[in-house]
Structure 1
């Protein structure tokens, strides 16, 4: 029995591979750059791109279940032919699908519904791993975080927990047609997040709260486009209830408690040190 993981070198995909291996499963990993994959021994690495159906010849052959992402490339653009992708999946006889939602539901999800394949949508909240992208270099260089909305709450989710849920659903099934919102075990403010990270790395990290206009200017100066900046202002300044509501989904699916931000910070402390 083979399990296919797409986006296999990404933040979550790499961990889905590890979780399936730990469960004793045979894993095929799809990546656009196999030579750079650096995945664990025993994984069958294949080249392909979900945005290019002509690159997927034979990729789904013999696959029992597959983990898909519903976006293409690093810019999170929608898959250009979700229906065509589902047709390939169905023709290969894949029985079960998990979809990691990086964007709003669209053609892929509609096609899965129409195809009658058992599938489950994973809908994580804010990734703890985003902290690396946004803060690591700034903390190493300056020891200061400058952001707006200091008291914004977020129920951050550990990327390992997302992967564990995906692997469990792929192996065990039983969640057809469900959307599984995934959160961490607590909702913390931005100021609390900085304090937890500072404790983990053993260094003072100062927090400076920006006004919205100051944040806009900073993000534009950092090279972000205006559309992205306005998205951030809205998303961070008007976080929907789901973004700070703690849910038990991780424990319900995997049987163990979700990992907190303090654990994530301890695991990744070296990335924030000089």
Structure 2
């Protein structure tokens, strides 16, 4: 029986990867800090992905692994990835649409650097665009009142449901035909942040206004929420770029899953309670 290691197993994508693998009859081992958040019956190794011996122990005997590197820096990643790939030849890595193959790894940020570390293993790179789940960052504003504060309201994103990312990850982990593939994953449409908030407003049955933040205000807001300074700077710059150059829509999800990609409206309906008091 196939045995697969899942890192980030309790996160937004990882928990759906775990569920998909279980439904496929696969034996799953999770590397987690808090095993209490796992579904019952899951084998686990408790520890931190930044710890090389822990990763080596978790990867022992596994046929494949789903890798999520949780930092916005690749510092310390080389020995950890080496420990993983010495034990597991097959790795599906959650990367980013922002990676460009015509640029050197360092110019592609942490995602490009991790991809480069995986060269030599049997890899598959999942490169999603904006996560629908990232709009949960608006939940505090929505619960407190009727105003959402955003930078670049007309930035266009092809938001993808985390369940779609996980479904592709499960396919790639279970079928060797996906080895060596780089899949750019998006939702079915490009929506501005203004349009996203209107959809969320409809799902909640509550009017929501928009207050535009300056780049300086947006960076500070993210820092106040505990964001890494590098993430805050890069995010604000990226949002501004999406006003004139919105994220594209790809057909990878329907091509691989043989169904349409899930919409942001569906995501908003599913997660509406997280925006309510």
TM-score by length of 1: 0.86
State the shift of 1:229 in Å.
Answer: 4.1
State the shift of 1:28 in Å.
Answer: 0.8
CA distance in 2, matches of 1:109, 1:271: 33
Matches within 5 A, 1:102-141: 103-106=110-113, 108-114=114-120, 117-132=121-136, 134-141=137-144
Q: Which has the higher helix share?
A: 2
Q: Do the aligned residues in 1 keep the contact of 2:155 with 2:246 (CA within 8 Å)?
A: no
Q: CA separation of 1:264/1:53 partners in 2, compared to 1, >3 Å: closer, same or farther?
A: same
State the shift of 1:235 in Å.
Answer: 0.8
State the shift of 1:193 in Å.
Answer: 0.5
Root mean square deviation, CA, Å? 2.4
Equivalent position of 1:170 in the other structure: 173
CA distance in 2, matches of 1:87, 1:223: 30
Q: How many residues align?
A: 263
Tell whether 2:184 aligns with 1:181. Answer: yes
Q: CA separation of 1:79/1:32 partners in 2, compared to 1, >3 Å: closer, same or farther?
A: farther
Q: CA separation of 1:158/1:203 partners in 2, compared to 1, >3 Å: closer, same or farther?
A: same
Matches within 5 A, 1:215-254: 215-216=218-219, 218-219=221-222, 227-239=230-242, 244-254=247-257
Q: CA separation of 1:53/1:221 partners in 2, compared to 1, >3 Å: closer, same or farther?
A: closer
Equivalent position of 1:272 in the other structure: 275
State the shift of 1:167 in Å.
Answer: 0.6
CA distance in 1, matches of 2:238, 2:82: 35
State the shift of 1:11 in Å.
Answer: 1.3
Which runs of 5 or more residues in structure 2 are unaligned?
97-109
Q: Do the aligned residues in 2 keep the contact of 1:95 with 1:118 (CA within 8 Å)?
A: yes
Equivalent position of 2:107 in the other structure: none
Which runs of 5 or more residues in structure 1 are unaligned?
none
